[in-house]
Structure 1
């Protein structure tokens, strides 16, 4: 069979289309989808050079935290089909992961590499919370209970009300919610709690100290403005910033004020997603990101926006109006201007 092809008013003979080319393209696309579906990102990380190591303590069943070298961190999610970098905006599928770690490879070479990983399972066993982690959390709860509740006029109260400019109404609400206690040397202790209210981590802030109690896992610092469920989430980086945002709101009854403690690990992400899902069931609910006014804060806010969008919740960016400042900086400036 011959085909006529017209070009610039002239007719000429041409060969029929090769059906093998269409089959090759379909086969190519099918292989890509199979590689995506049957290759586990964690299996590739564990067999990279140098290999990545699972941080069991910071991992959950749905978010596996891997570390390598000095400060390299990647989170594997979506049952091994996806990954993201908590220190940047980078994320993707297995193809993006290989190209990130092996930037010299072209797409064909990446495909060839991944053929060796089809069906390969990660080396870690089925995820279980470690006994060490559970014991650590139990120890934190005991240490928390031993600390004195915040008292008006105490050294810690004066630090929070004076140097940090937190108003009495906010401190009283935090005290009533057991969201702050008095640590040694005039320091304030702020608890992270899981969805059941258990203390999982304690942040420490004082006139001369910034740190945390050893052990435990960051989840979320939480200050409920009123009765549950909330219609609004205000998510900051530090507990004092969350309290400062509450001060600007005069502590709204419909709001949950929360803080991540900086970077967001898998357990923090899961806690935020749980709250976002709760908000999604409430008409008019809003997810507000009160992260700092800097590049890191904007990255966190972008991640917050993604979580809100995935849950179908309206998102609002509460960015401090002064560059490189946080909401406590803004609160202190307001109090200074009022003098």
Structure 2
């Protein structure tokens, strides 16, 4: 080792040559690695420490969030997360709550075609139209496309922000949930006059024949307070969760998994995919008795288990995959996913778009029109049709499917 006039350390590496072997030059990368090792060994410990600090600084500068968290104590960040709800960020950004599609566990907000669903009592969120999700800081970054330091400042400015509506609060039981299969088993099936039966018949207008079919296939249970449970089953036919719908309640089973609600023959050659079990039954009622059709529901979401279950069904030869999702942005996104799945599986694809927002709304409009016509034939006073019924009536004069079994609204094949 020599010291140069400028004060730098000069090192020379002498490497023994292998005997009885052709000699050549060292590769440049190998020489640099050896030189780096030698310098690290010969340099003072202070110099090595400076190198480590410089490396950490460069890494923190590349990551805006890490640099901000160096200046803000972790406790302060946690306090902000606890004080500011994701709902406050959304409301400040001009989003409005969709009460019809919201539950206590998942509050849906809309702004134009954008949708954000708030979970975990306002502490988490996800975008159902993409893979984006996170906490309140991630939401601020996502909405405004800003770096973390700016997002942290925006969140801090919302401390004390009052929502336009009270936050939904509910207490969680400290007792662990019962086994899913056992909870399903101890519930009885709906029967004429029961709470679930009345809800399906007189609130959702599901025909008795469809309700009885679902009961025969063991995919219905009587829920509490007049609600009904619609089973989600896996590829083995085991109940892994259920949709919960009632006059004053909607949600999904605690601890359950969203896979697929299924109504119809398991060996069907036509799969109609909807977003809820109510819509699946409504479409079955609108189409009438149709052999070879399996009506499915994703439960309002699109989990990896749902995607896998649909992919397993779509590989059947001669299958037609029908995207019967809602007539809105989210429904169109799900329809495109089904199109991609059909193309990957090599099966036919159709888009069956409801003339109203969803198939249950279409069914209710049709059934109300039938009742009005009956009253008119009897000579009694005809009630004024509601706006939704008047709007849907022109489209309901022709059947949803033509005699050649093509859907009324068809895109692709």
**TM-score, structure 2 length as denominator?**
0.49
Aligned to 1:88: 130
Question: How far is the alpha carbon of 1:49 from its aligned partner?
Answer: 7.2
Question: How far is the alpha carbon of 1:335 from its aligned partner?
Answer: 0.3
Is 2:315 aligned against 1:277? yes
Among 278, 281, 296, which residue is 1:258 paired with?
A: 296
The equivalences for 1:38-49 within 5 A come to: none
4+ residue runs of structure 1 moved beyond 3 angstroms? 47-51
2:248 & 2:302 partners in 1: Cα distance? 25
Is 2:294 aligned against 1:294? no
SS at match of 1:149: coil
For structure 2, which runs of at least 5 residues remain unmatched after alignment? 1-61, 67-118, 133-141, 147-175, 372-413
8 A contact 1:286–1:314 mirrored in 2: yes
1:214 & 1:48 partners in 2: Cα distance? 38
Q: Give the length in aligned residue pairs.
A: 218
SS at match of 2:262: strand
Q: How big is each residue's C-alpha offset from its partner over 1:79-138, in whole Å with a ceiling of 9 and x where there is no partner?
A: xxxxxxx52399xxxxxxxxx9xx99xxxxxxxxxxxxxxxxxxxxxxxxxxxxxx97x8
CA RMSD of aligned residues (A): 2.9
Q: How big is each residue's C-alpha offset from its partner over 1:45-93, in whole Å with a ceiling of 9 and x where there is no partner?
A: xx98769xxxxxxxxxxxxxxx9x84247xxxxxxxxxxxx52399xxx
The equivalences for 1:1-339 within 5 A come to: 70-72=124-126, 87-88=129-130, 139-224=179-264, 226=265, 228-278=266-316, 281=317, 283=318, 285-322=319-356, 325-339=357-371
Change in Cα spacing, 1:309 to 1:208, as seen in structure 2 (3 Å) is same
For structure 1, which runs of at least 5 residues remain unmatched after alignment? 1-46, 52-66, 74-85, 91-99, 105-134
2:289 & 2:279 partners in 1: Cα distance? 13
SS at match of 1:201: strand
Change in Cα spacing, 1:308 to 1:184, as seen in structure 2 (3 Å) is same
8 A contact 1:166–1:243 mirrored in 2: yes
Bigger relative CO (Cα 8 Å, ≥ 6 apart): 1
SS at match of 1:293: coil
**TM-score, structure 1 length as denominator?**
0.59
Larger Rg: 2
SS at match of 2:305: helix
